[in-house]
Amino acid sequence: MVSPATVLMCVASFLQLSFAQSSSAQASANRSPIYARGVSALQHRDLTTAREAFEKVVKLSPGNADAQNYLGWVLLAQGEVENAIPHFRAALAVKPKLAQAHINLASALEHQGKLPDAATELRLALKISPLDVQAHRALGRVLSLQGNLSTAVVELRRATQLAPRQAVLHDELGSLLAQQHEFENAQKEFLQALRLDPRSAPSHLHLGVALWEQKKIDPAISELRTATRLAPNDFKNRYYLGKVLEDKGDHASSIVELQEAVKLQPGAAEAHKLLGLALQRSGDASAALASYRAVLKLQPDDPEAHNDLGLALLQNGDAGNAITEFRAALALRPEDVGFRTNLGVAFLQKTDFNAAIREFQEGLKLAPERASLHYDLGLAFKLKDQLPQAIAEWQKALSLDPGLADAHYTLGVTYWQQGNFPQAAEHMRAAVRAKTDYAEAFYTLGTVLKQQGNLPDAVSALREAIRLHPDFAGAHTTLAAVLRQQGDLPGAQAESRAAQELTRTQTNSQAARFSLNSGNRLLNAGDWDGAIMQFQTAIKLAPANALPHYQLALALRHKGQTAEARAEFDKAVTLDPKLQPPPE
């Protein structure tokens, strides 16, 4: 089937050329009323009438090359490629030097995927008519489809020299230059196209994408918004605008555009996937599930689609169904270490530590030098209270990747819990050197330094945690205690008030998400008290969110507070029946 875009391009180019021929044709034998009616119908884009007329002409006069060519073009425009080709060949049998018939035959052959044959016809057309703009343009397109971009650029550049006022030629040349990553030169061509045709939505789109590729995000968004305003029902305009907005971190605006994109093209898996990612990043993990399920429905045999859905399910606390998806991904790609790791993490969330250990060890058979896998295995050992094995794995992880911040952090928490404050502080400092925005590590470092009696450094670490995340209620509370020890009562009261204010007045979901994520990190590191504080903050900020209750229950269970844990599990299940307590 001929795509609508291709047909419109064919219509625009062919009508310009074919009617230039019609004058010579009419000067010869083509003065019949039927032939004239066909030409007039073409001028008015009435393909049905044109077809009827030219069918009659070729039936009466099979040797009429112009009529054969016109009829072939009409059939091609109507998507009947196979039926069009014999008419172009019939025209060329009579008039071998009919350049337009070569061009039209090339277009039909291109639709059939016969690119070398199409290129041959276009070169014949250019041999006959070297100054034919559309032949240069069409040859450039065919060469680009063959991957011969440099020669394609030569043809399109020649076309722009022959017809410098045709905006579409500059746009197409810019597109080829962009494919060669010559974004600055591409940008010049798109700007020239827009000077000639300021309301060209495709040129605004292409310029926007070229600017985005050059990391010029705000100018790119401006161009893409213009393209969308000019052509609001164009999928590509909405999709790329959503994509660039997401790159900027404007999740809310990105979601709006991507939702429109999937309405326009429900079968676009990449748009559903990007929408799911934007929803996840905005904190709406539940809504993201629908997007990832849409991707999976479109691509049921894509292991990445199963993996993406599994990760979204994990974010929603649904480890059971996440495990199903990760297993499906592994069935399709058994050697993928990332999928194996995600399956292990899902078992961790389900507190099935033996299964998690098994999966991480299987992953290490495939990738024994992967530091993050040793870290994950160590985490599973720690959660199973096998500290010597856990420490050994983290040390192995750090020998492979000394900059693995999470390994330093978790090892530091473990040494702190064992009372080894110097080692704990050393690893916390290593964690924040490796990851300078690691708020939890600064917080824990401050706590360790407080217990060492190093109050000035504790204050510095805690203030940095608060600078990174002003909503970190636990850091405000601990800082208040340190300042009180230093005798700075006004400072201590100010921090206490800040902590109380956060829990009393902060109601935005972003603060709740931070507290939940921070609590999860502390929980994974084995800092039960720190995790409990953060989950309690998250619950105060968003009491209707089931996940903080569920995670708080896990932390309480680890501390042996069984009754309190059961109460939190009950609250979580009431809010979200999917969140069933894992077996003890």
Tell me the pLDDT tens digit for each residue of 495-553: 999 888 876 654 455 566 667 777 777 777 777 887 888 888 778 767 778 888 888 88
> What average pLDDT does this structure show over 435-464?
96
The four Cα atoms 436, 439, 445, 448 give a dihedral, to 10 degrees, of -170
Contact (CB, 8 A) for 307 and 337: no
15 pLDDT exceeds 80? no
Distance CA 346, CA 148 (A): 47
**Architecture of domain 1-163 in this structure:** Alpha Horseshoe (1.25)
Task: Evaluate if residue 490 carries a pLDDT over 90.
Answer: yes
Which range has highest mean pLDDT (30-34, 303-307, 348-352, 378-382)? Answer: 303-307
User: What is the C-alpha to C-alpha distance for residues 253 and 266, in angstroms, rounded to an integer?
Assistant: 19
The pair of structure tokens assigned to 551 is 């995670």
**Has residue 327 got a pLDDT over 70?**
yes
> Is domain 409-544 in CATH 1.25.40.10, yes or no?
yes
Mean of per-residue pLDDT scores for the chain: 89
Residues 342 and 404: their CA atoms lie apart, in Å, by 18
Separation of alpha carbons 208 and 263, rounded Å: 22
State how far the Cα of 582 lies from the Cα of 349, in Å rounded to an integer: 9
Triad 403, 405, 409: Cα angle to 5°: 135
What pLDDT, on the 0 to 100 scale, is given for residue 509? 56
Q: Which of 348, 300, 304 is nearest to 323 (CA)?
A: 348
Pairwise CA distance, residues 385 & 401, whole Å: 24
Q: Band the pLDDT of 20: cuts 50, 70, 90.
A: very low
**Confidence at residue 511, expressed as pLDDT on a 0 to 100 scale:** 64
Query: What pLDDT sits at residue 53?
Result: 94
Question: Which of 519, 554, 511 is CA-nearest to residue 536?
Answer: 519
Enter the tokens of residue 576. Answer: 């979200």
Q: For residue 330, what pLDDT is reported?
A: 97
Cα 220 from chain centroid (whole Å):
17
* Residue-wise DSSP of 194-206: HHH-TT-HHHHHH
Taking 3-state DSSP, the helix, strand and coil percentages for the chain, each rounded to the nearest 5, stand at: 80, 0, 20
Spatial CA neighbour of 428 closest among 448, 412, 404: 412
Q: What is the CA radius of gyration of the chain?
A: 33
- How confident is the model at residue 2, as a pLDDT? 28
Our CA angle for 560, 565, 569, nearest 5°, is 150
CA 411/CA 420 separation, integer angstroms: 11
For residues 581 and 183, the model is more confident at: 183
Confidence (pLDDT) at 31: 65
Q: Count H helices, E strands: the chain?
A: 33, 0
- All CATH 1.25.40.10 domain ranges of the chain, comma separated, are 1-163, 409-544
Query: What is the total residue count of the chain?
Result: 584
Report the interhelical angle of 65-77 vs 33-43 (nearest 10°).
40
Q: State the CB neighbour count (10 A cutoff) for residue 346.
A: 27
Quick check: 87 and 110 in contact, CB under 8 A?
no
Contact 439, 463 (CB under 8 A): no
- Determine the pLDDT at residue 503: 65
